[in-house]
Amino acid sequence: MSLDDVLQAKKATPTLPDAQVVTSVTHYTDRLFAFRCSRPQSLRFRSGEFVMIGLMGDNGKPLLRAYSIASPSWDEELEFYSIKVPDGPLTSRLQHIQPGDPIILRPKPVGTLVLDALLPGKRLWMLATGTGIAPFASLLRDPETWEKYQQVIVMHTCREAAELTYGRNLIEALPEDPLIGELVEGKLLYYPATTREPSANMGRVTDNLLSEKVFADLGIPPLDPETDRAMVCGSLDFNKDIKAILEEAGLREGANSAPAEYVVEKAFVD
Ligand code: A2P
């Protein structure tokens, strides 16, 4: 959609509060899709934060859910990556959106998965399952990530290989990115894995860390609280299990008000 089309579509929905316009939709599997929409001019956010987005419900009230912003803070549009839950109140409808459709977006970004909540370090681990890759899609395209860290290691695990496509496309495009391509050079280690379909690094993130397979495969030293920082985004169980591993390695959980060695956010599902 051109900017003119977006402005026209926005004029057509003046009664919807906080309305933005969908500009593109990409379906990856029957469970996953991504979409882009217009960005409110006033919206400032830190890469890794989330906002409330949604659609107008049948009862005339907005039906909203928390979604990590997957686009970087410099992008003039916003991008989101979503699961499709057949009977999910929001995603059963959201999965049918088309370019030109209105979407509600509350412009109040929040979240702990931000670089400011971590103490300075050398290596940054991004640990994700499923749609938990979304905040990292933002952080990976932010120059600050690459300026702050000497090495960025992305571990993303999904059930099947096709579910890795969104993250893989984005990560493989980073070296060619005109803004950050040079910054990324020699710093990125990508460790995609599957759990229910054979692949090179088969196994859960937790198992690949505990067995030390990931360190051996990538040829890097194990977790060290002096140098390593981690950001975690996945299901509640995943976050809990990863926290235990990080704590065992001597890393402590940080927050905006008290930066430390790792931060955690739930991947939001409907
Ligand atoms: P698994 O296939 O062994 O359950 P989902 O699609 O259910 O959100 O899962 C996404 C990925 O997260 C799957 O590969 C799944 O592995 C993995 N996973 C789920 N729970 C955990 C956990 N507690 N620790 C590590 N990985 C997990």
3-class secondary structure for the chain? CCHHHHHHHHHCCCCCCCEEEEEEEEECCCCEEEEEEECCCCCCCCCCCEEEEEEECCCCCEEEEEEECCCCCCCCEEEEEEECCCCCCCHHHHCCCCCCCEEEEEEEEECCCCHHHECCCCEEEEEEEHHHHHHHHHHCCCHHHHHHCCEEEEEEEECCHHHHHHHHHHHHHHHHCCCCHHHHCCCEEEEEEECCCCCCCCCCHHHHHHCCHHHHHHCCCCCCCCCEEEEEEECHHHHHHHHHHHHHCCCCECCCCCCECEEEEECCCC
Chain mean pLDDT for the chain = 93
Q: Residue 240 CA: which ligand 1 atom is closest?
A: 23
> Which comes out higher in pLDDT, residue 267 or 96?
96
Q: Using one digit for the tens of pLDDT, what is the confidence trace for 211-240? A: 999 999 999 999 999 999 999 999 999 999
State in Å, rounded, how far the first CA of the chain is from the last one. Answer: 28
Q: Residue 130 CA: which ligand 1 atom is closest?
A: 10
Q: Using one digit for the tens of pLDDT, what is the confidence trace for 106-140? A: 999 999 999 999 999 999 999 999 999 999 999 99
What is the average pLDDT across 263-270? 84
> Which comes out higher in pLDDT, residue 143 or 269?
143
pLDDT score for 4: 65
Residue 3 pLDDT exceeds 70: no
What is the average pLDDT across 244-258? 97
pLDDT score for 267: 84
User: The domain 3-109 is classified under which CATH number: 3.40.190.10, 2.40.30.10, 2.30.30.240, 2.60.120.380?
Assistant: 2.40.30.10
pLDDT score for 60: 87
129 Cα–ligand 1 center, Å? 7
Assign 6 a pLDDT band (cuts: 50, 70, 90). low
Q: Using one digit for the tens of pLDDT, what is the confidence trace for 8-51? A: 665 555 455 689 999 999 999 999 999 999 999 899 999 999 99
Q: Using one digit for the tens of pLDDT, what is the confidence trace for 148-176? A: 999 999 999 999 999 999 999 999 999 99
Give the tokens for residue 261. Answer: 């060695």
Which of 28, 31, 129 has most ligand 1 atoms within 8 Å of CB, for mutation? 129
Q: Using one digit for the tens of pLDDT, what is the confidence trace for 38-85? A: 999 899 999 999 999 999 988 889 999 999 999 999 999 999 999 999
Domain ranges across the chain: 3-109, 115-264
pLDDT score for 18: 85
Protein residues whose CB sits closer than 6 Å to any atom of ligand 1: 129-130, 157-159, 195-196, 204-206, 235, 237-238, 241
Atom 1 of ligand 1: nearest residue by CA position:
195
Let me know if domain 115-264 sits in CATH 3.40.50.80. Answer: yes
Which of 30, 157, 194, 196 has most ligand 1 atoms within 8 Å of CB, for mutation? 157
> What's the predicted TM-score (pTM) here?
0.93
Atom 3 of ligand 1: nearest residue by CA position:
195
